[in-house]
Structure formats: structure tokens, C-alpha cells
Amino acid sequence: MSGLQVESLSAQAAILGVGAYRPIRVVPNAEIVDAIDSSDEWVQQRSGIRTRGIAGESETVVSMSVEASKLALDRAGVDVQQVDAVIVATVSHLMQLPSAAAMIAHELGAAQPAAFDISAACAGFCHGVALANDMVRGGTARHVLVIGVEKLSDITDPTDRGSAFIFADGAGAVVVGPADQPGIGPVVWGSDGEHYDHIRSRRDWKEVVASGDLRQAAITMKGSEVFRWASYGMAKVAQQALDRAGITVDELDCFIPHQANNRITDAMARSLRLPDSVRIARDIIDAGNTSAASVPMALDRMMEDGDAKSGDVALLIAFGAGLSYAAQVVVIP
């Protein structure tokens, strides 16, 4: 046996383009607070959220992903036929099979790429970027489309005071491809399965079907426990990602955390001692918490608003059910 042939490593990989899709319908706090016996002031104090996007019947996990992907591909200057793999991070594609990724690839007209979904909840997009980086650098793909998408309104109980005001819908996408210089730093990721029940579906689908009550499929969350875990534990993960990338906080231009709660973002920024020069994503104020879609949507919003410019160095971090987390430093395309 002469030995296996292997693909040669690509020099580097980077994010080449970013796109997002936001639902047409924008829902203010006033429309949801009566069902949870609350107020606009209480919601804003607890989360920072003023409005959120709620998808209509025609705005599906697949259709929102397709629109975000088209923008990302166009901005990257990459034809869909050049896409070798599609990775979709989501927990709200409610068909067990086929994968949302396969359906999205077909709708885009891609040339039979590898296509698969990953379930890491809010941390899923950052997991996808890490996988895409390794795939491009390892030679198994040249261009990878990474999508974070959620239609959480399908699995949110509108009467649940602990979560109804938080979750929202939308999609974000990036194209990862070869680059002359490093554009994606090493990932720091992990999970704390001991506390899996801090954020979870209320019941599994077998129990939901038996009950006949679709609200039993809704997300439940132990808000105080999640707040403490994310506010302090995730700052350490963020620092590890900076250290592994060889970047100091003074060299950062943007901080783009999962848009879970403005108070969590503030706590992480204080723990990291971010200088005033670092621009911080606050997309949650108008978009709500879109789980796997929140980081790419926040990145897209910062780029559109001019708060993130080409060549800027950004720290991405996401965390959620699992309890799963992932963080990496990237260069803005």
C-alpha cells in the first residue's frame, strides 16, 4: 500500500460576505405585554428589547435563509455554483428530516453541495463558522455557506412570562472561503451538559403529540441561572478566544456577542474591560433574541450602520441551550 492521498491545507480562510433577512412584521412590546401581565418598561429594563421581528406564514426557516444567503453570496462575489457546503444552525426547523440545509441549497440552485444542520441553539452559528474555517483550511471545501436562522415564534409560548418577550425570528448568513491572510481565529467552544435543563423544550415531540397541546413544545428558561452563567462565565471564554488569536482588547474594533440580553452584554463588556473605542452590537433592542441567527444579524446590522468596517477585528461569542458556547475572533470582510 502506497499510503492515503490527502488534500493539502489551504493557507488561510476568512469571512468573505455577510447577509441577513429580517421579518416584515415588527412587533413592539405593547403587543405582547398583556398576555404576560407585564409592561413595556419592565421588558426594556429586563432585556433592553423594544421591538422584535415576527415572521409571517410565508416567511419560513428556508425562505428567510435563502434571502440572507443571496445577499451574503452577492457581497462575497461568490456564485452559488461555487458553494461546496451549506451549514445551517437552527433549532426551529420543525421537520425532523430533510435538513433545512439541503432544502436551502436546492432553493438557491447550488450544485449538490454537502448540506447539513447543526443543533447548538444560540451558539450554533459560531460553531458553524468554526467548522467552515476548518473545512476550507483542510481542503474539503473551498466555499462554505454558513447560516444562522430561527423562527422561534413557532416554539414560543406567548403566555410564558419568562420567555415570551425575548424570542424572535430572522436569518443571517456568511460565506467562508480562502484568503491570503488569516480571517478567522481559533475557536474556543464547549458545553456544560450538567445544566442542560436551564434552557430546554418543555416536552419532547412524542409527549407533545400525545398531549395535543402544541404549547408543550415551547422553550422554557431559568432566566436567573442563565444570566449568571452567561454574564460571568462567558467573559472568560471571550478572553480565551482573544488570547488564542493573539489579540488584546485594545486591538479590538467590535464586540458582537449573542443578542441574548443587553444586561448580559454589559456585564461581559465590564468583565473584559473593553475600552470605549470598541463598538458593541446592540441589535437585540430592535430585533429581539433570534438564537442562532443573532450573531450574523448583529454583524450585518453593524456593517450596514457603519459601526463595523472592512478590515475591522471583531470578537464573536454565542451561548445558549446545552449549555453550549463558542467564540472566535474574525476580520470583517
- What's the distance, Cα to Cα, between the start and end of the chain in Å? 44
Number of other residues whose CB lies within 10 A of the CB of residue 296 = 33
Measured CA to CA, the distance from residue 281 to residue 80 in angstroms comes to 29
Q: Per DSSP, what are the bridge partners of residue 100? A: none
Cβ of 143: how many Cβ atoms within 10 Å? 24
Rounded distance between C-alpha atoms, residue 186 and residue 188, angstroms: 7
Active-site residue 262, yes or no? no
254 catalytic residue (yes or no): no
Bridging pattern class, strands 324-331 and 313-320:
antiparallel
- How far is the C-alpha of 122 from the C-alpha of 317, rounded, in Å? 10
Tell me if residue 122 is catalytic: yes
User: How far, in Å, CA of 215 to CA of 242, rounded?
Assistant: 41
Instruction: Give the position of cell 464573536.
Output: 316
DSSP of 252-283? --EEEE--S-HHHHHHHHHHHT--TTSEE--T
Q: Return the C-alpha torsion angle 146, 59, 20, 182, nearest 10.
A: 0
Cα 310 from Cα 70, distance rounded (Å) = 20
Strands 85-89 and 324-331: unpaired
Bond from prior residue into 98 cis (ω within 30 degrees of 0): yes
Q: Catalytic residue among 29, 93, 122, 133, which?
A: 122
SS3 24: coil
Distance (Å) of CA 59 to CA 11, 119, 141, 245, 329: 39, 21, 30, 38, 31
The catalytic residue among 254, 258, 261, 262 is 258
Q: Residues with catalytic annotation?
A: 122, 258, 289
